[in-house]
Amino acid sequence: MTFLREYTFLWPALVGGLALGVAGALIGIFLILRRDSLLPHALTHVALVGVALGFLTTRWPLLWALGVTVLAAFAVLEIRERAGIYEDTAVGILAGLGMALALVLASVAGSYDVRLLSYLFGNILALSASEALLAVALAFLVAGVLASRGEALFFVAFDEESAATCGLRVRLLKFWLAALTAALVVLGMRMVGLLLVSALMVIPGAAALEIAHGLRQCYLFSALFGALSVLGGLAAAVLFNLPPSGAIVLFSGLLFLLSFGLRRLK
């Protein structure tokens, strides 16, 4: 506690980081099970379009990014279902077009400067109190959705056709998952940056799936690994003067290696 009193600027980073780390890890489970782990990576490219639009209009880059990213996530679902394109193809198209458009808009806005770099690489230590509270609210929303519809999402992740036959609203559930993923990407870019936020969502969930038995254990271990990634990365960043975003993701990678090794020892 003395440490935190001396470093008061860490409180928003700690609260917001833990909220996003846990929420992202929980959603990451379903992305992995759906073989959709590249979706957050593609959405980061689209989020950059929203940031560039914010610079171009000189207003609300985060809101622009959120709106554009949610629409893009819905567009991916529509392209898959209506055009019959494979998942990885749709994600690849989205990522390429998103980055190309972002570069053009950033050039027009004249925003090739430190402002753009701050969104690419993030800085969790610069989180404001309002951003931390927004992250906590999103974490509660994720927890509420999973508490009420988690088993249904799990069913859809494994077999959409059987889930639809059983009367589940598969389309609505997929839209919920896409919207939450998009929101986590946008908020996560302030924490670890657009280049690394997808890793923070996928790696803790992958680590949990290595050792968990059942859905509840997946929840428990993914939330634990997400929280430990943030805590360990923040501690390493402060103590050893490391970039916080890189330290957080590297710590999550270490946890994955440990869980991977533990499974192989069983």
- Show the CA angle centred on residue 53, arms to residues 48 and 55, nearest 5°: 95
Element holding 91 (H helix, E strand): helix 87-109
So what's the pLDDT on residue 67? 92
pLDDT at 6 (0 to 100): 61
Confidence of residue 113 (pLDDT cuts 50, 70, 90): low
Task: Provide the pLDDT for residue 127.
Answer: 86
| pLDDT number for residue 28 | 95
pLDDT digits (tens, 9 = 90+) for 32-62: 998 888 889 889 889 989 988 888 887 888 8
Which pLDDT value is given to residue 177? 93
Instruction: Return d(Cα 40, Cα 26) in angstroms, integer.
Output: 13
Q: Report which of 32, 12, 6 is spatially closest to residue 218, judged by C-alpha positions.
A: 32
pLDDT in tens, 5-37: 666 777 898 999 999 999 999 999 999 998 888
Least confident segment among 50-64, 81-95, 133-147, 205-219: 81-95
* pLDDT tier, 136 (very low <50, low <70, confident <90, very high otherwise): very high
pTM of the model: 0.91
Greatest mean pLDDT range, 91-95, 103-107, 244-248, 261-265: 244-248
Highest mean predicted confidence (pLDDT) among 1-5, 54-58, 179-183, 235-239: 179-183
Is 1's pLDDT higher than 60? Answer: no
Q: Spell out the residues 6+ positions from residue 176 whose beta carbon is closer than 8 angstroms to its own.
A: 145, 149, 153
The pLDDT value recorded for residue 111 is 64
Amino acid at 102: A
What is the reported pLDDT for 83? 65
Nearby residues of 67 by Cβ (< 8 Å), 6 or more positions away: 50
Q: How confident is the model at residue 224 (pLDDT cuts 50, 70, 90)?
A: very high
> What is the average pLDDT score of the chain?
87
| pLDDT value of residue 5 | 63
Mind listing the pLDDT tens digit for each residue in 62-110? 889 999 999 998 888 877 777 666 667 778 888 888 888 888 888 887 7
pLDDT of residue 153: 93
Q: Which domains does the chain have, with CATH numbers?
A: 2-260 (1.10.3470.10)
Residue 186 CB contacts under 8 Å (≥ 6 apart), including other chains:
47, 50, 62, 65, 66, 69
Which pLDDT belongs to residue 55? 84
